[in-house]
Amino acid sequence: MRGLQCPKSLYLYKNFIQKRDPISAEQKAIFSRGNNVGTIAQKLFPGGINATPQKHYDYISAVNKTQQLINEGVEIIYEAAFQFEQVLSIIDVLVKKPSKEAIENTLPNEGNQNSKIQNQWFAYEVKSSTKISQSYLLDASLQYWVITNSGIPLEDISIITINNQYIKQGAIKLDDFFSINSVKKEALQNQLLVGEKVMLSKLVVENLNMPEVNIGEHCFSPYNCDFMGTCWKKAPKNSIFEIMGIQKKDLFILYNQGIKTIAEIPDNNLLDKNANIHIQSFKNGTPRIDIAAIKTFIEKIEYPLYFMDFESFMPAIPLYNETKPYQHIPFQYSLHYKKSKETREEHFYFLAEQGSDPRKHFLENLLNHIENKGSIIVYDALMERNILNSLKKQFPEHAAQIDLLLLRIVDLMIPFQNRSYYHPAMKNSHSIKNILHALIPTLSYTNLKISSGSIAMIAFEALQTETDLFKIIETKENLLEYCKLDTLSMVKIYEILEQQ
Ligand code: SF4
């Protein structure tokens, strides 16, 4: 799969693994989420035997153990390993059972039908996603190629995904929570392609020289390559790739014309309006401040001000009744309160205890903390609005109060999004981190243990099963620090706008 994205990435992986970029906290969490979903999906096929090797890299013993289990007549194998043409494949679940057609075609008066039905092998690959991507199909095609060519004919191969319409009521009903999708048709169509690509990939790995591959759009598709630290390190300072929010294809059109830095981008380029505001602002070295537009924005805002930020997490396997997979569950908020322009801000917050549905306490505390007058300032209001609307449905007794909160929300992102205030250090982005970096570099997330919403999400999810008291306290302190900085940043950014 790596070789399909880029032969150089495959070569580096096989020969210079030490050059691989460090795995981020977000990536680790995605892997661990995948493992959790995989373990639960095994329960769809209870009673199997696991062929996972005792040592992580001892795959040959896993292949041998799988073969031994098959020879012994084991009919459900987890993590079944196969090898063909030096390609290893580990399928999440391998099951031997009668095919649906065989059962349907057996006449009811044939006595003990099961003894007459020929059992077949079925392979299942589990994904923690709710959709089947092209990469998953190719991955399953490769699995099919390895397994069938190593002597196990497969009656079917399926990708198990999460059903995003599932709503939890009591214990998770596995048959409803997971969707089993046969992909044998696509796997069969891809067999020739897989064979060719495997042979090409083997040539790449065995070659003494690294393939020469220039950086390109393929570095980001279908996944961000983890050798960018190696291939991209020659990018010059103020490279065109530092401009955010532009499609990679448009940047590579410039790059392939020999334009490497922002200063070299001609005025008659085909980039969009915002990108050109950035390019001009960068070339002039000056911010762009539309004082009239900022004043109009500020005039709509009324004291007292509530600077509000929510954190939510999205468990793949719903934890609470009436929730769906990957639903945003709010667990924390930070609130900076400013009574008037002259007064100092005060801080309020809520952070849920782990282990129970946080939504009721979250809402009750929020409604207590916010009085019924003044503007509620958020940065990028979409998430906060969505969460308040879903709380409205869950707690209709508070719907009227929530509606009033929604009416008072002002999105501080707007003057930055519409470029009423633009500074070249924002790099064509209006994310709060870039605004902060440009306007108040002393207030930074860099030294925080939790430095992004996605890490906060993962940290709180991990707390649900954490038993080490010190870790729990530490994580909670880190979460509080992170969310507090979000709203403090808003206070300071707002003050800058107010001074214009
Ligand atoms: S960074 Fe790009 S060119 Fe380098 S190995 Fe990865 S995909 Fe290939």
The pLDDT, as a whole number, for residue 116 is 59
Phi, psi of 308 (to 5 degrees): -125, 140
Range of weakest confidence among 22-31, 302-311, 366-375: 22-31
Shortest-distance atom of ligand 1 to CA 231? 4
Query: How many Å apart are CA 162 and CA 177, to the nearest integer?
Result: 6
For the CA of 216, the nearest atom of ligand 1: 2
Question: How far apart are alpha carbons 443 and 446 in whole angstroms?
Answer: 9
Where in the chain are the domains?
2-205, 235-286, 287-500
Position 110 pLDDT exceeds 60: no
> What pLDDT, on a 0 to 100 scale, did the predictor assign at position 246?
93
- Over the stretch 124-163, which tens digit does the pLDDT of each residue have? 999 999 999 999 999 999 999 999 999 999 999 999 999 9
User: In this predicted structure, what is the pLDDT of residue 107?
Assistant: 58
Give the closest residue (by CA) to ligand 1 atom 4: 231
Distance 425 CA to ligand 1 centre (A): 27
Nearest CA to ligand 1 atom 1: 228
Domain 287-500 has CATH 3.40.50.300: no
Ligand 1 atom with the shortest distance to the CA of 225: 6
Which pLDDT score is estimated for 106? 66
Q: Which atom of ligand 1 is nearest to the CA of 228?
A: 1
In 199-304, the DSSP E strands lie at 288-289
| 287-500 has the same fold as 2-205 | no
Give me the percent of the chain exceeding a pLDDT of 70.
96
pLDDT tens profile 315-334: 999 999 999 999 999 999 99
242: three-class secondary structure by DSSP: helix
Contact between residue 62 and residue 90 where contact means Cβ atoms under 8 Å apart: yes
What's the CA gap between 48 and 38, in Å, rounded?
A: 13
Sheet holding 76-84: strands in order across? 49-50, 76-84, 87-98, 119-126, 154-162, 178-182
Residues 191 and 197: their CA atoms lie apart, in Å, by: 10
State the CATH class of domain 2-205. Answer: alpha beta
Q: How far is the centre of ligand 1, averaged over its atoms, from the C-alpha of 211 (Å)?
A: 10
The partner residues of 338 in beta bridges, in order of sequence, read 305
pLDDT of 115 above 60: no
**Whether pLDDT at 426 is above 70:** yes
Interval between CA 258 and ligand 1 midpoint (Å): 19
Ligand 1 centroid – CA 193 distance (Å): 22
CA of 7, closest atom in ligand 1: 8
Grade residue 117 by pLDDT with cuts at 50, 70 and 90. Answer: low
Residues with CB under 6 A from ligand 1: 6, 8-9, 12, 213, 215, 218-219, 225, 227-228, 231
Q: What is the DSSP string of 46-90?
A: TT-EE---SSTT-HHHHHHHHHHHHHTT--EEEEEEEEETTEEEE
For the whole model, what pTM was predicted?
0.88
The tokens for 195 are 């064979």
pLDDT in tens, 157-208: 999 999 999 999 999 999 999 999 999 999 999 999 999 999 999 999 999 9
